[in-house]
Structure formats: C-alpha cells, structure tokens
C-alpha cells in the first residue's frame, strides 16, 4: 500500500480526520499530497517546464504529465526527488490492454514513477463475468509492470459514468488487481471528484490502498473536503493556488487543464 493510512476505530480501519489534519497542518504537508497536474492537449514544452519548476519548488507529490512529456519532466526534475507521474489509456480507457502495457513499459523506461491508468469503462458497464475478468486483467497487466520497476499505479474509475454498484465493482476489481490507489476521475468527462464518491472509495479501500480525488478541485476548501472524506492524494492544476490559500497567499488560478 502506498498511502500513509492512520488506523482508527471505524469500519474501514482508516481515520480520515487524522490524515486530513496532518495534511492541512502546513503548506509543505499539503503539497506532499498534491499531484501537480498539466494534462491539457495543447500543453507546450515551456508550460511543462514551468509545472516541473513549481513541483520542485513546492515539493509536490509528483508532476503529472501526458506521456509525450515524460522524458522532458524527468530531466527537469532530476536530482530534486520529485517523481514524474503520467497517464496511460487516457482519457477513455478504451485502448487495447496490449497498448496500455506497451505504454506503461515505455513511460517506465523513461523514468515515470506514478502511473495513472484509466480502466476499461465500457467493459465494466457491460456487466458480464468475463468482462469483469477482462477489466481486472487489463489493470493487472499494468500493475505488474509498474511494481517490477518500483512504480505505483492509480486506477481511474471515471466515477461520473458509473452507478453506485459499478463504482463498488470497479473498486474491488482494481484492488484485487493490485492497484495502489483508487482514483475518481480523468477530469475530461461529465464530472469530477465528489465527497460522496471519495467516501465510497475509502469505504471500499479501507487501509488496502490510497484514494485519489481528481477533477474540479480548485480551492483549499475543495481539497479540505476531499481529505476529510478520505482522500490521501489530490490531483489538481490549481496546486500552487491551493497551498497559497493555506499560507495566506492566493495566486491567480491557472487556466483549467482538465483537472
């Protein structure tokens, strides 16, 4: 398990309040749970380099980029200790499992550490036992490759497209496949993270895995709500603004990039 999950006397074995209060105790502590993200399709090299500079300055959990920018980000962050995160099968999750594995191999070779993959949403919603097994194997293929390289995998469920029962099914399939985190959203569909979904995913994960809230988190109030609901990682393009609010400085919000 890749999240620092405190124990408590509740059904999941996880105390969200303890984690949230720790994460909100200082700008540095909050930065350590924020994935600083730039995934818009028109992101330029200069914007990626600026993202990496901010990630290094504030010590964010990682700098999250699209696959084409992994080598650029790894080079920019060399020696800083800040890892590079990357999305694969993004944003639809409907690519071939072999394509996801190939993508994973390539980005891991380039130095990515956090791999955020989209599960096969259509297969999940098809509802057959064979389809569920295919979803699990789709995830497991990427997880095994990542873990062999000391990397972690966050599985994006795209909760806005799922029913309550499908969210639970997706969570259990991802956990059984070895996911390190359950993640709510790509930020490119019909909705993002909600408190209800974070609570649901934390209930499913317990202390087995982290929970990442992403999609529409643009303020300290948003981040606070997600942490107290059970998130242990937050994906946002507004990371600098969020920690600025906590420290009493609130820089202008960035242009939305899907997160």
Residues assigned a catalytic role:
116, 183, 212
DSSP annotation of 150: T
CA distances from 119 to 104, 189, 230, 243 (A): 14, 14, 21, 30
Residue 7 burial (CB count, 10 A): 11
Output the CA angle 85-237-166, nearest 5 degrees.
Answer: 70
Question: Which candidate, 67, 91, 85, 237, places its Cα nearest to that of 161?
Answer: 91
* Spatial contact of 241 and 255, defined as CB atoms under 8 Å apart: no
């Amino acid at each position: 398990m890749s999240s620092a999950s405190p124990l408590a006397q509740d059904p999941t074995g996880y105390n969200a309040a303890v984690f949230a209060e720790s994460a909100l105790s200082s700008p540095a502590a909050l930065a350590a749970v924020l994935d600083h993200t730039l995934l818009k399709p028109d992101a330029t090299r200069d914007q990626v380099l600026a993202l990496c500079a901010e990630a290094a300055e504030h010590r964010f959990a990682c700098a999250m980029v699209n696959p084409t920018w992994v080598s650029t980000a790894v080079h920019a962050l060399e020696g800083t200790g800040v890892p590079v995160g990357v999305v694969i099968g993004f944003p639809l999750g409907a690519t071939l499992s072999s394509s996801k594995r190939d993508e994973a191999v390539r980005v891991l070779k380039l130095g990515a550490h956090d791999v955020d993959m989209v599960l096969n949403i259509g297969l999940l919603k098809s509802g057959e036992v064979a389809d569920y097994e295919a979803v699990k194997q789709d995830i497991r293929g990427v997880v095994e490759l990542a873990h062999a390289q000391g990397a972690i995998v966050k599985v994006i469920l795209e909760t806005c497209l799922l029913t309550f029962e499908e969210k639970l099914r997706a969570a259990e399939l991802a956990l059984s496949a070895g996911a390190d985190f359950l993640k709510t959203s790509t930020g490119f569909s019909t909705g993002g993270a909600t408190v209800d979904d974070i609570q649901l995913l934390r209930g499913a994960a317990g202390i087995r895995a982290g929970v990442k809230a992403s999609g529409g988190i643009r303020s300290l109030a948003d981040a606070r709500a997600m942490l107290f609901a059970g998130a242990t990682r937050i994906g946002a393009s507004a990371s600098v603004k969020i920690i600025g609010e906590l420290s009493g400085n609130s820089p202008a919000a960035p242009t939305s990039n899907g997160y």
